[in-house]
Amino acid sequence: MTTDTEESRKELKELSEKIHLWAEGYAGENGWKLNGDERQLGAVLKGLARNTIKYGEQYCPCRIRSGDPEKDAEIICPCIYHEDEIKNDGNCHCQFFFK
Ligand code: SF4
């Protein structure tokens, strides 16, 4: 028998892995890389997975949601800012995608 906590941990882990696979593909298509620091990368992945479970959308874990779904659509990963940030700063605000 599994407990709720085990279930939710499993769900979070599986979703994080799914997002990781998507992000690797997306980064590759654009000639980018994911953060090479496993700990930082894991924190972003977990944050994205948590938001997906909690809010139903893959909201950026490094930005504040306004609560207005139309406005917050801008910060569903990959957010509307990431291309400019990667181009200008070398990485997105969350340090998820790198040039
Ligand atoms: S800042 Fe990075 S992690 Fe956050 S939504 Fe934009 S692309 Fe995704």
Residue with tokens 């990963």: 77
Confidence of residue 3 (pLDDT cuts 50, 70, 90): confident
pLDDT score of 2 more than 90: no
Ligand 1 pocket test target in 52, 59, 64, 94 with most atoms within 8 Å of CB: 94
Paired residues of 76 in beta bridges: 59
pTM here is: 0.94
Whole-number Cα distances in Å, 73 to 31, 86, 99 = 25, 19, 24
**Token pair for 65:** 């949601």
Give pLDDT tens digits for 18-70.
999 999 999 999 999 999 999 999 999 999 999 999 999 999 999 999 999 99
Say what the alpha-carbon torsion angle 74, 79, 84, 87 is, to the nearest 10 degrees.
Answer: 180
Parent domain of 88: 4-98
CATH of the domain at 93: 3.90.460.10
Which pLDDT score, from 0 to 100, does residue 20 have? 98
Domain count, the chain: 1
Of 78, 74, 58, 54, nearest to 66 by C-alpha is: 74
Question: Which ligand 1 atom minimizes the distance to the CA of 93?
Answer: 1
98 C-beta neighbours (distance < 10 Å), count: 15
Are the beta carbons of 55 and 66 closer than 8 angstroms?
no
- Going from the Cα of 9 to the center of ligand 1, the distance in angstroms, rounded, reads 23
DSSP 8-state secondary structure symbol assigned to residue 34: E
- Going from the Cα of 63 to the center of ligand 1, the distance in angstroms, rounded, reads 8
**Token pair for 26:** 């997306």
